[in-house]
Amino acid sequence: DNTPRKINFGPGPAQLPIEVLHNVQKEFFSFDNCGSNVMELSHRSPAFSKIIDDAEKDIRELLSIPDTYAVLFLQGGATGQFSAIPMNLINLKPSQTADYLVTGYWSEKAAKEAEKYGKVNYVIPKQEKYHDVPEQTTWNLTDDASYFYYCANETIHGVEIHDVPVLPNKAQIVCDMSSNFLTRQVDVTKFAIIFASGQKNFGCSGIVLVIVRKDLIGNAMKSTPVNFDFKVQLSNNSMYNTPPTFSIYISNKMFDWSKRQGGIKALEKQSKIKSDLIYSAIDQSNRFYLSEINPSYRSRVNIPFRIAINGVPDEKLEKLFLEEALRLNMIELKGHRAVGGLRVSLYNGITIEETEKLAQLMRTFQTIHCV
């Protein structure tokens, strides 16, 4: 097939590095000379055991995950963790209360789901628009919270919390890193749980990686579905039932690729270069392109913006921009319906050169259409 590859700036499932795709293609009919595709291997076979063990080894190395943490490859997506986390942790304290910092669409969903399993304390009042995060001194924290939950990067609203909160109540910190996972250095030891779904920065959908401190495991509510019980999954090496073998295989390839890029430091550097390219085009546009997020919380990974005439967003121009982008093979730039406008997602599978192409288009489009 000679169809040129599109540049996919979508929020996920995201574009994979071409090198990884070629590698998968090479092994498609026979993985490691075994005569079967990975999809056709038993999850109990030595060949598959090696894949999941290698994936765990690589992610431990990439993030310097200590032995005191378990690494679980689970199903149900990040959304599944919106239920699994309260089910496993709400009983940690007699208060059965969890603090939720809601800074956008995804943390709001997580908090709503947690309400089914315990008491949810909203740390900040509901925000009109998710453009900012109120000062920590104004947060209303629970003294004996079972845990504190936040989303490090709100994929739809483009709000990224760059520093891990230091909490006066020393609550266990749980973090949804689905969209900025592996795009920056992270000190795992500051967290009780980090989780991330695969389809953005480490492969394909069908998998959620859960990094959980081992001493917190074993407190699940009685009604927890067996598949969501961290203790059961840990003692079964994430294979209580048939795991998403192909997604784990792709994760293994992506972790290996991430290491070959130079690890997290190098990926963080690339992420910064890419987002600087887009934010420069926005900030130098004299408000032709509008980013409404407080610059201290701008996401390096998902950048929503509007195209405006005299400060007023113009949907016709935005539509025209999408058409022009498509003509140049760039896709998935439409903003989420909750926000409108445009959104650029710069996951690890997007290269600096591809981002330069988009920044160039933004400048040319402005020259032509700015009145």
* Dist CA 318 CA 324 (whole Å): 10
Per CB under 6 A, the list member of 77, 263, 313, 340 interacting with ligand PLP is 77
Residue 155 binds ligand PLP (CB under 6 A): yes
In single-letter form, the type of residue at position 205 comes to S
Which residue among 200, 253, 257, 274 is the active-site one? 200
Q: Could you say which residues in the range 215-234 bind ligand PLP, by CB under 6 A?
A: none
* Region of 86-94, 172-180, 284-292, 350-358 interacting with ligand PLP (CB under 6 A): 172-180
> Running DSSP on this structure, what letter comes out for residue 139?
-
Q: Is 163 a catalytic residue?
A: no
Q: Parallel, antiparallel, or unpaired: how do β-strands 302-309 and 312-313 relate? A: antiparallel
Which residue among 58, 176, 229, 274 is the active-site one? 176
Task: Select from 198, 350, 343 the least CA-distant residue to 270.
Answer: 350
- Closer to ligand PLP by Cβ: residue 304 or 361: 304
In single-letter form, the type of residue at position 278 comes to I
Q: Is 229 a catalytic residue?
A: no
Q: Is 106 a catalytic residue?
A: yes
Per CB under 6 A, the list member of 78, 84, 220, 248 interacting with ligand PLP is 78
* Dist CA 162 CA 169 (whole Å): 20
Per CB under 6 A, the list member of 97, 146, 178, 366 interacting with ligand PLP is 178
Per DSSP, the residues of 250-297 read: HHHHHHHHHHHTTHHHHHHHHHHHHHHHHHHHHHTSTTSEE--S-GGG
Q: Could you say which residues in the range 93-112 bind ligand PLP, by CB under 6 A?
A: 106
Residue 151 binds ligand PLP (CB under 6 A): yes
* Dist CA 89 CA 95 (whole Å): 12
Residue 201 binds ligand PLP (CB under 6 A): no
Residues that bind ligand PLP (CB under 6 A): 11-12, 77-79, 106, 151, 155, 176, 178-179, 197
